[in-house]
Amino acid sequence: MADYGFNTLAVHAGAQPDPATGARATPIYQTTAFVFEDADHAAALFNLQVFGNVYTRLMNPTTAVLEERVAALENGRAGLACASGHSAQLLTFHTLMSPGDEFVAARQLYGGSVNQFNQSFAKFDWRVKWADTTNPDSFKAQITDKTKAIYAESIANPGGLITDIEALAKIAHDAGVPLIIDNTLASPYLIRPIEWGADIVLHSATKFLGGHGNSMAGVIVDGGKFDWGSGKFPTLSEPSPSYHGMRMWETFGDMAFAITTRVFALRDLGPALSPMNAFLVLTGTETLPLRMQRHCDNALTVAKWLKANPKVEWVNYAGLPDNPSYKLHQKYCPKGAGSVFTFGLKGGYEAGIRLVNSVKLFSHVANIGDTRSLIIHPASTTHRQLADEDRAKAGAGNDVVRLSIGIEDSADIIADLEQALA
């Protein structure tokens, strides 16, 4: 499969006609458990001496196709799917962190990730330190001997800022820690972070990979190149009590991170993906290149139109030549700058409310990466609890509107914004 081009991999990677029935589409293996051949087979499975299906919380044939598909698209070594993007984050850090450990994260992140890192991870005593995506050296300044990873989004939600992945990879590797990239907004069609030095790639497959706004899912991709033997990552390098003292890094080599995360974090924390959702996301991946290109082309058309509109104060889209991220856009994702961006209304808070109340084609929802065009006014929704000043710092000032441009006709998207702004 490795020799095929991206469009071919999107349709075929990981899949084959069903050996039992000849079904051409990947069947939904809607089962909890799988029958052992005999007692020896069962023992070998439990000892991790052979790989196979035991119980759907750990592994499922439909989900396995999705895992291999996304790993191939990201040019990684192995994939692991789970129930949501947030659970992909939880599972990844569970493998890397011990209580008291730290990681350095970009401040410019999806709001839900900021909450997860600040609030819920604190309960495990996993400590986040914040840095600024636009200044890679600010990550270096936060690194201590307790640091276990650097974390950023390839294209940041909601600001659309593009991360200098190569620069962050160098800082991470100089410190002996992996670079984790949340590639949700770019998708592997636009950016393949592993090729720029990232070690672990995460997805909220709920968004562009699935692409149709119909199912929650997360995927972790192990780049397979990181050396886990330094002693910084005991879950990977030290003998494991739950597998008779097996050392995961020594035993599984370039797939150690993916396998460890499956057999410890997913096994014990439990956010498994349902086979039905694996099937829906898998179907979505087949059209990823077609959809992403249309998303990006439409977004650029809409961003240009907004920029020329007298009711609009500013437009923040990396695809516009005067945007601070434009150079990074040309370097990392020349095919497009994604479909999520923000703009500011001259009328402020009230104008934002009127706009989301007046759109007809756009849907007013807290989501992105749907075939449909989506809109939200963060100050009156996702960020309404915050004080004015804190909203502004989070990129959710009173005048900010976030769009996720769909794959409809761009003329219809623009016509809807035009009537709503009027």
Which position among 29, 93, 103, 110 is part of the footprint of ligand PLP (CB under 6 A)?
110
Helices 288-307 and 410-421, axial angle in degrees (round to 10): 40
Cβ atoms 369, 207 nearer than 8 A: yes
- Among 296, 276, 112, 299, CA closest to 210: 276
List of residues 6+ apart from 389 with CB closer than 8 A: none
Residue with tokens 């989301």: 356
Which position among 67, 102, 153, 222 is part of the footprint of ligand PLP (CB under 6 A)?
153
Alpha-carbon dihedral of residues 42, 46, 49, 52, nearest 10 degrees?
70
Minimum CB separation from ligand PLP for residue 287, in Å? 19
Decide if residue 187 touches ligand PLP (CB under 6 A): no
Residue nearer to ligand PLP on the CB measure, 256 or 296: 296
Decide if residue 86 touches ligand PLP (CB under 6 A): yes
- Which listed range, 23-31, 35-43, 182-190, 319-327, lies at the site for ligand PLP (CB under 6 A)? 182-190
Minimum CB separation from ligand PLP for residue 201, in Å? 12
**What is the SS3 assignment for 411?**
helix
Which position among 60, 75, 92, 206 is part of the footprint of ligand PLP (CB under 6 A)?
206
Which position among 64, 70, 216, 306 is part of the footprint of ligand PLP (CB under 6 A)?
216
Minimum CB separation from ligand PLP for residue 340, in Å? 8
Task: State how far Cα 292 lies from the chain centre.
Answer: 15
Residue with tokens 């623009």: 414
Minimum CB separation from ligand PLP for residue 339, in Å? 12
Decide if residue 175 touches ligand PLP (CB under 6 A): no
**Closest residue to ligand PLP, based on beta-carbon distance:** 85
Question: Would strands 78-82 and 218-222 be described as parallel, antiparallel, or unpaired?
Answer: antiparallel
Q: Which residue type, as a one-letter code, is found at position 293?
A: Q
Cβ atoms 217, 210 nearer than 8 A: yes
Residue nearer to ligand PLP on the CB measure, 89 or 240: 89
Q: How far apart (Å, rounded) are the C-alpha atoms in residues 270 and 90?
A: 11
Decide if residue 158 touches ligand PLP (CB under 6 A): no
Q: How many residues bind ligand PLP (CB under 6 A)?
A: 17
Question: Would strands 218-222 and 340-345 be described as parallel, antiparallel, or unpaired?
Answer: unpaired
Decide if residue 84 touches ligand PLP (CB under 6 A): yes
Which position among 108, 133, 184, 339 is part of the footprint of ligand PLP (CB under 6 A)?
184
Decide if residue 218 touches ligand PLP (CB under 6 A): yes
Alpha helices in 211-274 (DSSP H): 234-237, 248-252, 256-260, 267-269
- Which listed range, 55-63, 165-173, 202-210, 320-328, lies at the site for ligand PLP (CB under 6 A)? 202-210
Residue nearer to ligand PLP on the CB measure, 113 or 298: 113
Decide if residue 416 touches ligand PLP (CB under 6 A): no
Cβ atoms 300, 337 nearer than 8 A: yes
Expressed in percent and rounded to 5, the helix, strand and coil fractions of the chain are 40, 15, 45
Residues that bind ligand PLP (CB under 6 A): 84-86, 110, 112-113, 153, 157, 182, 184-185, 204, 206-207, 216, 218, 368
